[in-house]
Each structure stands twice: as C-alpha cells, then as structure tokens.
Amino acid sequence: MSFTPPAVVERLTSRLHRTIYRRSNGERGASVGRSKRPVALLTTTGRKTGARREWPVLCLATDDAFVVVASNAGRDRHPAWYLNARANAACELQLGPDRFLVTARDATEDEARALWPRLHELHPGFATYQAKTRRKLPVVILEPQAS
C-alpha cells in the first residue's frame, strides 16, 4: 500500500523545497532521494492570476528537451502547473544553476510511449501514481526556446 501525503503537507514541503532551491541558486534541492533524481524548478504563468508560479518537478533531460510528468501524486485532477502551462506554454525551467526559457507541450502518444521506460527508471513511483487515478498522466515536453 502506498502513502500519499495530505495536500497541505505536500504544499508546505513544495514551498520549502523551492525556497531552498531558489536561494541556493540550484546548489541545494536539485536532486532528491538516494538515487539523486534530478529536480527542476518550473515557472509558469498563472492561468487565472497572471502571476509567476514556481513548482519543483522531477525532470528528465533528453538530447534536445526536458521531460516532466503531470502526475500530481496520482490524484484525479491535473496539477496546477500543468493547467497553467497548457494555458500559456511559455515557461522557465531551472535545472541546478542553469536556467532555460522553454515551451511546454504534451508529448504525442508515440513520444510518451517511448519516454515511459526512462521516466519509470527516473521514478518508479510514476507507475503507482498511474494506477491510483483514472486520468492518463500527461507527459510534458519542455523545448528550449531559441536564443
């Protein structure tokens, strides 16, 4: 049986994580767990408020993009960052000290199918999250914008 922390605990943990990440310029908080899974700070524009919002997300770097999963720990609703990115695809990603302007898009079915083995290797919990919900967990590709 898996444990999903209450939403309030998750929000507080997330707030603390992003504060440490931001204040240390990515020197602290850029990885989690024993396996040192890479964590990025994803900044989106609030779809209702227009305010900038930061979210720590597990991040898979590929040759030409970054990949994140809108898992929301297996809850039946999409995470707010995903809804924001769908409303405004222009985002910022900080991976360690490096910052990138990126454009978010949903992976195609073929892309998602090809990426899932690597995503499960990054975080086996994604399979548990998918089993907990009826929604299909979106795989989001963050493509760096040309400078």
Tell me, what's the pLDDT at 33? 63
Q: Selecting from 3.40.109.10, 3.40.920.10, 3.40.50.150, 2.30.110.10, what CATH number does the domain 7-144 have?
A: 2.30.110.10
**3 state DSSP class of 129:** helix
Enumerate the β-bridge partners of residue 66: 61, 142
- Cα 35 to Cα 14, 39, 59, 81, 103: the distances in Å are 19, 12, 13, 25, 28
Instruction: Provide the pLDDT confidence category of residue 12 given band limits of 50, 70 and 90.
Output: confident
pTM for the structure as a whole? 0.86
**3 state DSSP class of 22:** helix
Q: How many angstroms separate the CA atoms of 130 and 143, rounded? A: 24
> What residue spans define the domains of the chain?
7-144
pLDDT tens per residue, range 75-130: 999 999 999 999 999 999 999 999 999 999 999 999 999 999 999 999 999 999 99
Q: How many angstroms separate the CA atoms of 99 and 83, rounded? A: 22
What single-letter amino acid sits at 7? Answer: A
Residues 6+ away with beta carbon under 8 Å from 51: 45
Please state which of the ranges 20-24, 39-43, 52-56, 63-67 shows the lowest mean pLDDT. 20-24
Q: What is the DSSP string of 67-94?
A: EEE--GGG-SS--HHHHHHHH--EEEEE
pLDDT at 4 over 60: no
